[in-house]
């Protein structure tokens, strides 16, 4: 049987540059498989959201609570974080550790900013207030929901009512918080990962121009989470306020 001479290090994992059948790195292939799996994860969540879209029996609807300009800003921040991730990786491959670290921190800060926006958004949605005006026959003029009907009493011209969206409020709350919350969890995990790698890069020889797979993997993950947000922003936020669905 013809057999080939092999080196000791062949077919042993944990080694950065192992010989593989395809020439592709093991861990990178695993990451792609994981992202495929994560596609199904978000696919199932988005499917749930769409199945229940417009099916809420009561409570605030997307158009009542969404603040598109604010979310656009956080979306922009997240998209820019993908760019700084690319710049970080690029700096690493040019062996410029200083610039690499700057962009890594920048990416993590942008990710954290996005999560911060989300926390703010969740808090403000859950305490959403509406200003309601009453007319002379004690009916509401500016807000047509029946939630506050009893509040328009003689002597009250207008009042501010709480019309918050909590996960328990209706199907929109349930599906919205679950979908965006789990995306936020992905971003948070990404931030922890980036910061861990940043810390690790101070250890000599762990992350170098040649040993860049760790950064490559984190970048893949980061871009994926970013792409998922583009879908969520479009399907949940934009389709939620524009009346064509």
Partner 1 sequence: MTLFPIQISIPSIPRPVKPTGLWSWLTTIDHKRIGILYGVTAFILFLSGGIEATLMRLQLSGPELDLVSAEVYNQLFTMHGTTMIFLAIMPMGAAFFNFIIPLQIGARDVAFPRLNAFSYWTFLAGAIMLKLSWIGGATNAGWFGYAPLTSVSQNPGTGIDFWIISLQILGVASLAAAFNFIVTIINMRAPGMHMMRLPVFIWMSFITAILLVLAFPVITVALIELTLDRYYDFNFFNVANGGSVVLWQHLFWVFGHPEVYILILPAMGIVSEVLPVFSRKPLFGYSTIVLAGAIIAFMGWMVWSHHMFTVGLGPAANAIFTITTMLIAVPTGIKVFNWLATIWGGSIKLNTPMLFSLGFIAMFLIGGISGVMHAVSASDAQQQDTYFIPAHIHYAVFGGAIMALMSGVHYWFQKTTGKMFGEILGKFHFWTLMLGQNLTFFPMHFVGLEGMPRRIYTYAEGMGWDLWNGVSTFGVFILIISFLAFMLNVIKSWKSGPIAPADPWDARTLEWSIPSPAPEYNFSEIPQVKALDDWWVTKQENPDIEVPDALENHSIHLPQPSYWPFVTALGILIAAYGVVFNDLLVPYLIAGIGTLVTFIGVYSWSLEPVNDPDEHTSH
Q: Tally the C-alpha atoms within 13 A of residue 201's C-alpha that lie toward its C-beta.
A: 28
Helix, strand, or coil here: 53? coil
Residue 21: CB minimum distance to partner 1, A: 4
Binding mask 214-243 for partner 1 (x = CB under 8 A): ------------------------------
Q: What is the CA radius of gyration of the chain?
A: 25
Burial bucket for residue 102 (CB in 10 Å: 0-12, 13-18, 19+) = middle
The answer to whether the CB of 210 falls within 8 A of the CB of 168 is no
Of 119, 182, 189, 231, the residue at the interface with partner 1 (CB under 8 A) is: 182
For residue 73, the Cα-to-chain-centroid distance in whole angstroms is 13
CB nearer to partner 1: give 138 or 178. 178
CB nearer to partner 1: give 152 or 173. 173
Of 137, 146, 155, 204, the residue at the interface with partner 1 (CB under 8 A) is: 204
The residues in 36-55 that bind partner 1, with binding defined as CB under 8 A, are 36-38, 40-41, 43-45, 48, 51-52, 55
Q: Tally the C-alpha atoms within 13 A of residue 238's C-alpha that lie toward its C-beta.
A: 9
The count of chain residues that interact with partner 1, using the rule CB under 8 A, is 57
Sequence-distant (6+) residues with CB within 8 A of 28 are 213, 216, 217, 220
Residue 223: CB minimum distance to partner 1, A: 19
CB nearer to partner 1: give 48 or 73. 48
In angstroms, the first-to-last Cα distance of the chain is 66
The residues in 88-107 that bind partner 1, with binding defined as CB under 8 A, are 97-98, 101-102
Of 95, 115, 195, 199, the residue at the interface with partner 1 (CB under 8 A) is: 199
Which helix (H) or strand (E) covers residue 22, if one does? none
146 binds partner 1 (CB under 8 A): no
Q: Tally the C-alpha atoms within 13 A of residue 40's C-alpha that lie toward its C-beta.
A: 5
- By CB under 8 A, name the binding residues for partner 1: 1-15, 20-22, 24, 26, 29-30, 33-34, 36-38, 40-41, 43-45, 48, 51-52, 55-57, 97-98, 101-102, 167-168, 170-171, 173-175, 178, 182, 196, 199-200, 202-204
């Amino acid at each position: 049987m013809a057999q080939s001479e092999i080196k000791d290090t062949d077919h042993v994992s944990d080694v950065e540059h192992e010989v593989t059948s395809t020439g592709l790195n093991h861990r990178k292939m695993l990451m792609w498989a994981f992202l495929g799996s994560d596609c199904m994860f978000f696919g199932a969540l988005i499917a749930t959201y769409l199945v229940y879209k417009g099916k809420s029996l009561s409570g605030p609807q997307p158009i009542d609570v969404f603040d598109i300009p604010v979310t656009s800003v956080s979306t922009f921040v997240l998209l820019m974080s993908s760019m700084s991730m690319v710049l970080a990786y690029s700096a690493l491959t040019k062996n410029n550790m200083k610039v690499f670290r700057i962009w890594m921190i920048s990416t993590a800060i942008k990710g954290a900013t996005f999560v911060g926006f989300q926390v703010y958004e969740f808090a403000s949605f859950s305490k959403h207030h509406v200003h309601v005006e009453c007319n002379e026959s004690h009916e509401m003029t500016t807000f047509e929901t029946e939630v506050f009907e009893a509040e328009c009493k003689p002597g009250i011209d207008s009042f501010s009512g709480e019309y918050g969206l909590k996960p328990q409020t209706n199907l929109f709350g349930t599906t919205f918080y679950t979908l965006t919350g789990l995306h936020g969890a992905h971003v948070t995990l990404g931030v922890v990962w980036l910061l861990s790698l940043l810390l690790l890069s101070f250890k000599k020889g762990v992350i170098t121009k040649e040993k860049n797979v760790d950064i490559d993997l984190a970048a893949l993950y980061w871009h994926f989470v970013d792409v998922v947000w583009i879908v969520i922003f479009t399907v949940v936020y934009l389709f939620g306020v524009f009346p064509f669905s």
